[in-house]
Amino acid sequence: MRILVAPDSFKGSMSATVFCDIARQVFSRCLSGCEVPGCEMLGLPMADGGEGTAEALVRGTGGELRALTVTGPMRTPVAASYGLLGDGRTAVVEMAQASGLPLVPSQQRDPLQATSYGTGELIVEALRQGAGHIILALGGSATNDGGMGALQALGVRFLDHTGAPVAPIAEALMQIRSVVVDDLQARLGSTRLTIASDVTNPLLGKRGATAVYGPQKGADARTRRHLEQGLAHFADLTDQTTSTDYRDQPGSGAAGGMGYGFLSYLGATLRSGFAVVAETYGLEQRLQENHWDLLITGEGQVDVQSVQGKLVGRLAALGQAHQIPVLVLTGSIRGDLDELYRCGVTSVSSIVEGPMSLKQAMEQAPLLLRRRLTDLCRLWRIRRLSDPVSRAM
C-alpha cells in the first residue's frame, strides 16, 4: 500500500510539516507489524504561496532554513529566515517572515507606517549566498507600500523633490518625484525571480490591494484614501520609469501591491503558489510514474471555496486525473460539499471529535489528527488483512 500525504497547513495551529510528521509516525507504528508487505508513505508538505511555503519546500526538498535579523514591518528588528532548497540554488523568501501582519500587535497596525524593507533584506541575503532562482511567497503582509520598501533594500532609489531618499513606508509614496534604478541590475545579475501567489486582485480600485486588504491591516476609510492615492502616484512614476504597466494585472495587488512593484522593477514572473510548489516537487511526474493507493491532504477548513483554485481542490483534480482516491482531513467542514466530491474528493473527515471551542480545537489539532489517522490506519489494516488479493501482493 502506497500513501501520498500532501497537506496544507492548518492556519495558526499546525504546519504542513507537522501534519506529515504525525502521519509518518502513525503509519510506521500501525503498519510496522502488518502482515501485508510493501506499505509505504511519502510526505510532501504543501503550500499555496502563503504562510508556511518556505518551511514546506525546505522540508520537502531536503533543504535548510537560514536565520537572520531584518527590519520588521514597523521598522524594528525581527528574527526571520529564508529557505535554501535541496538543489542548493533555489531560495524561498516568505514575505510573512519579515513583513507579516502577525508581527504587529493589533493595536499598533498602521499600513501608512509599515514597510516591506525586511523582505528585501531577505532577498539581498539570498543573492549574497548565490541563489540563481528566488521564489517570493506573498501572503499575510502588514504592508501597503507597493513593494517600495523591499525595492529600496535591493538598491532602487526613490527620491523626493530635493533628491533625498524617501522613507521606505507607504506614507512616503506621494513624496516620490524620481526613481533611480542604476544599482538594481548589478545586484540581481542573472537571478530569476518567481512570485508565488494565488491572489488575483489588481493594484487599484474596488478590488485592489487597499480596498480589499487595507481594513485587516488597520486602515480606516481616511487611511485607505491616502493609501490608494499613494499607490496610484507610485504606479504613474513606475510606469514612466520602467516603460511597463502592470497595475491591472491579476495579482499585482498581492501583499499590499508588492506584486506590482516586483513585476515592474524586477521583471518577476507571477505564478500560482500551488503550481510553483507542485512543480518544485515534480508532483505531476511523481503521480504519473508511481502507483499510489491513496492521497491524503488537509487544511484547517473545507468549504465550497476549496474547489475554487485552492490547494485541496487542485489536489482533488490531480487525484481524479490519476485515478487515486483523495481523502481530506480538516478541522472544520462548512456548507455543501457536493461540488468537492464532483471534483475528485473521495471523502472529507473532520479531526474534531466532539463539541469544543475553536481555541481548544486549534490547540489540540496535532493530537486530534494523530487520533483520526490512527483510527483510519487501523481500518485500512483490517481491510487489507482480510483481502486475499492484498495478502498475496
Predicted local distance difference test score (pLDDT) of residue 38: 59
Provide the phi-psi class of 36: left if phi over 0, else alpha when psi is between -120 and 50, else beta.
beta
Predicted local distance difference test score (pLDDT) of residue 308: 66
Predicted local distance difference test score (pLDDT) of residue 313: 87
Find how far residue 96's CA is from the centre of its chain. Answer: 9
Which residue is it, cell 503509519? 27
Which residue is it, cell 506621494? 174
Contacts by 305-309, CB closer than 8 A, 24 or more apart: 306/340, 307/339, 307/340, 307/343, 309/198, 309/272, 309/274
Length of the chain: 393
Q: Is the CB of residue 5 less than 8 Å from the CB of residue 44? A: yes
Q: Count helices and strands (H / E) in the chain.
A: 16, 13
Rounded mean pLDDT, 368-390: 73
- pLDDT band at residue 33, thresholds of 50, 70 and 90? low
pLDDT, one tens digit per residue, over 245-290 is 999 999 999 999 999 999 999 999 999 999 999 999 999 888 888 7
Instruction: Out of 39-43, 100-104, 302-306, pick the least confident.
Output: 302-306
Cell of 60: 520537502
d(CA 208, CA 225): 12
Domain spanning 2-47+283-392, CATH architecture:
3-Layer(aba) Sandwich (3.40)
Q: Is the CB of residue 231 less than 8 Å from the CB of residue 210? A: yes
Q: Is the CB of residue 82 less than 8 Å from the CB of residue 99? A: no
At residue 116, φ and ψ (nearest 5 deg) are -100, 15
At residue 81, φ and ψ (nearest 5 deg) are -150, 160
Predicted local distance difference test score (pLDDT) of residue 2: 85
Domain spanning 53-271, CATH architecture:
Alpha-Beta Complex (3.90)
Number of neighbouring beta carbons within 10 Å of residue 225? 13
Which residue is it, cell 510606469? 239
The domain spans of the chain are: 2-47+283-392, 53-271
pLDDT at 196 over 90: yes
Predicted local distance difference test score (pLDDT) of residue 180: 95
pLDDT at 387 over 80: no
Predicted local distance difference test score (pLDDT) of residue 302: 85
Predicted local distance difference test score (pLDDT) of residue 386: 53
pLDDT at 391 over 50: no
d(CA 281, CA 278): 5
- Ranges of H-type helices in the chain: 16-31, 53-61, 95-99, 117-128, 148-153, 184-188, 209-213, 221-242, 254-266, 273-281, 283-289, 311-321, 338-342, 358-363, 365-385, 388-392
3-class secondary structure, 299 = strand
Q: What is the 3 state secondary structure string of 328-361?
A: EEEEEECCCCHHHHHCCCCEEEECCCCCCCHHHH
